[in-house]
């Protein structure tokens, strides 16, 4: 059935007819309000430690307070934190990545039903980046999935409440598993000096962990799981602190104590670096109404997975339409290199994109300045016919970044990632082999 066309009421040129809830494209700019701290939103076991380290602003992520800035603007702000990440080593409080455990005799079968990738190919003490989709093929979450044992998986989730959905899938109980949030809170150690620092903390065995490999060890006498993963594109590790409400301080201070010898700096998650690496942020670059085929995650939808999974029928239909030349979505996520003054902080709005005729047709989701490329870079949505590499568009930047007030800046659709990662993604590896496709 053909859906009646619906355009955003404020920006009618941007086609969002394939969405039930359009992205809010109102250009409201910064909003000077104070965040209310109350008991309705949870504080992580590391919250007071972030405050002690100088956090001055925060957001809410997974219904938890999430530190988003330590270096103040007068001290260089987010770009000072960026320099520490790409040249040294940094510590991030990412306890908001709640850990949802699926454990029991049917754990593998259950996980294989809810993720698009093949869970049977994840060996114990290894992990994978994965996505979970609803029955329409919309991305519900894109966690790092850790397999601790044959019968135990942890979903290290992005910003949507996955536990409730997983419990709902198993109601009535069809799989013999327990699905719960556990008292495990992650920290990240990211940057080119991270390996040497972590070897100093837990021993040289950390150097042998493969990408997405896991290590059970102790820090400060407390049990932790260390993985070679991260949200930065740099070399790095995640430290999953067990019994975190009891052990948070000992692990935090042990890391900071050793890290002092390496110039360790506590910073916020580096969105400027993850944009350069082409790493997506759920809720910003995609949501439950976004298909993996819209956001360069086709490699997450294997053709040859034997087991059925939630969303498979819808995703296979989408792939077939794309291969037949019938793109089923209004917009596609692309990389952009664009003009303007350096964007050195979070964007408060989805800034609008214009086509060559000057008509508003899309929006930017994640912009930032790239010191390596000496230009602004961004992820953003454009119509399919403007998604080819080299396509020319314009972006409406706010006055603080515009080269001329009231005039858009030129932009070009560009390859993603913009800057190479320490660990190329599966999509990058496939491209290097000359085999990039809808697989």
Domain ranges of the chain: 184-262, 279-432
Q: What is the pLDDT, as a whole number, of residue 423? A: 74
Q: In the CATH hierarchy, which top-level class contains the domain 279-432? A: alpha beta
The dihedral over CA atoms of 303, 308, 311, 313, expressed in degrees to the nearest 10, equals 70
Q: For residue 87, what are the CA distances in angstroms to 83, 158, 274?
A: 6, 27, 15
Angle separating helix axes 194-202 and 244-259, nearest 10 degrees: 120
d(CA 54, CA 426): 37
Instruction: Check if the beta carbon of residue 422 is closer than 8 Å to that of residue 285.
Output: no
DSSP 34: P
Once rounded to an integer, what is the mean pLDDT over residues 354-373?
97
pLDDT at 417: 96
* Residue 154 near residue 100, CB atoms below 8 Å: yes
Q: Are 187 and 44 in contact (CB under 8 A)?
A: no
Question: How does DSSP classify residue 286?
Answer: B
Predicted local distance difference test score (pLDDT) of residue 3: 45
Query: What CATH number does the domain located at 184-262 have?
Result: 3.30.1360.120
* DSSP helix/strand/coil, 181: strand
Chain segment 132-180, per-residue pLDDT in tens: 999 999 999 999 999 999 999 999 999 999 999 999 999 989 999 999 9
Mean pLDDT of 376-391: 98
pLDDT(315) > 80:
yes
Helix axes 162-169, 107-114, angle to 10 degrees: 110
Condensed to tens digits (0 to 9), the pLDDT of residues 181-234 reads 999 999 999 999 999 999 999 999 999 999 999 999 999 999 999 999 999 999
pLDDT band at 432 (very low <50, low <70, confident <90, very high): low
- CA 83 vs CA 62, 89, 262, 367: distances in Å: 28, 10, 14, 18
Rounded CA-CA distance 362/297 in Å is: 20
**Number of CB atoms found within 10 A of residue 400's CB:** 13
Q: What pLDDT does 426 receive? A: 54
Per-residue tokens: 303: 């053709």
Per-residue confidence (pLDDT) for residue 4, from 0 to 100: 47
CA separation for the pair 270, 281 (Å, rounded): 11
3-state secondary structure of 48: helix
Lowest mean pLDDT among 4-13, 160-169, 389-398: 4-13
Give pLDDT, residue 1. 34
**pLDDT band at 2, cuts 50/70/90?**
very low
- Record the tokens describing residue 95, joined without a space: 């306890």
Question: Rounded to a whole number, what is the largest CA-CA distance in the chain?
Answer: 64
d(CA 302, CA 284): 25
> 241 pLDDT exceeds 50?
yes
Is there a shared CATH topology between the 184-262 domain and the 279-432 domain? yes
Q: Give the strand pairing for 360-370 and 352-354.
A: antiparallel
Q: Can you give the pLDDT at residue 12?
A: 84
Rounded CA gap, 355 and 94, in Å? 38
Q: What are the tens digits of pLDDT across the range 85-110?
A: 999 999 999 999 999 999 999 999 99
Confidence of residue 9 (pLDDT cuts 50, 70, 90): low
In the chain, % of residues over pLDDT 70: 94
Residue pLDDT, tens place only, 31-80:
888 889 999 999 999 999 999 999 999 999 999 999 999 999 999 999 99
Query: pLDDT band at residue 428, thresholds of 50, 70 and 90?
Result: low
């Amino acid at each position: 059935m053909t859906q009646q066309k619906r355009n955003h009421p404020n920006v009618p040129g941007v086609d969002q007819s394939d969405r039930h809830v359009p992205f809010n494209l109102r250009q409201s700019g910064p909003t000077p309000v104070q965040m209310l701290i109350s008991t309705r939103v949870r504080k992580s076991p590391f919250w007071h430690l972030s405050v002690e380290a100088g956090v001055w602003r925060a957001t809410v992520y997974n219904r938890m307070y999430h530190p988003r800035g330590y270096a103040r603007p007068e001290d260089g702000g987010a770009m000072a934190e960026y320099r520490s990440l790409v040249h040294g080593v940094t510590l991030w409080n990412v306890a908001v990545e709640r850990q949802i455990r699926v454990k029991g005799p049917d754990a593998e079968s259950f996980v294989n039903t809810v993720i698009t990738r093949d869970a049977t190919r994840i060996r114990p003490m290894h992990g994978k980046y994965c996505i979970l989709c609803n029955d329409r093929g919309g991305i519900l979450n894109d966690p790092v999935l850790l397999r601790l044992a044959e019968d135990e998986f942890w979903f290290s989730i992005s910003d949507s409440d996955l536990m409730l959905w997983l419990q709902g899938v198993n109601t009535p109980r069809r799989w013999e598993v327990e699905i719960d949030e556990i008292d495990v809170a992650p920290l990240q150690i990211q940057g080119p000096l991270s390996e040497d620092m972590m070897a100093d903390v837990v021993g040289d065995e950390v150097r042998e962990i493969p990408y997405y490999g896991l290590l059970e060890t102790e820090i400060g006498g407390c049990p932790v799981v260390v993985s070679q993963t991260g949200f930065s594109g740099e070399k790095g590790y995640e430290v999953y602190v067990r019994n975190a409400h009891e052990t948070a301080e000992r692990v935090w201070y042990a890391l900071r104590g050793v890290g002092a010898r390496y110039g360790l700096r506590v910073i916020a998650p580096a969105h400027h670096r993850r944009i350069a690496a082409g790493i997506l942020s759920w809720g910003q670059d995609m949501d439950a109404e976004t298909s993996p085929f819209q956001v360069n995650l086709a490699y997450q939808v294997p053709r040859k997975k034997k087991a059925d999974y939630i969303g498979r029928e819808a995703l296979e239909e989408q792939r077939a339409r794309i291969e037949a030349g019938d793109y089923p979505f209004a917009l596609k996520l692309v990389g952009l290199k664009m003009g303007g003054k350096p964007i050195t902080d979070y964007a408060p709005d989805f800034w609008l994109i214009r086509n060559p005729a000057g008509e508003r047709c899309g929006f930017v989701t994640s912009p930032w300045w790239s010191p390596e490329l000496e230009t602004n870079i961004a992820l953003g949505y454009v119509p399919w016919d403007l998604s080819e590499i080299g396509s020319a568009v314009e972006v409406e930047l706010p006055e603080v970044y515009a080269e001329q007030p009231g005039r858009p800046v030129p932009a070009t659709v560009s390859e993603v990632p913009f800057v190479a990662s320490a660990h190329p993604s599966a999509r990058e590896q496939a491209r290097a082999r000359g085999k990039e496709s809808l697989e």
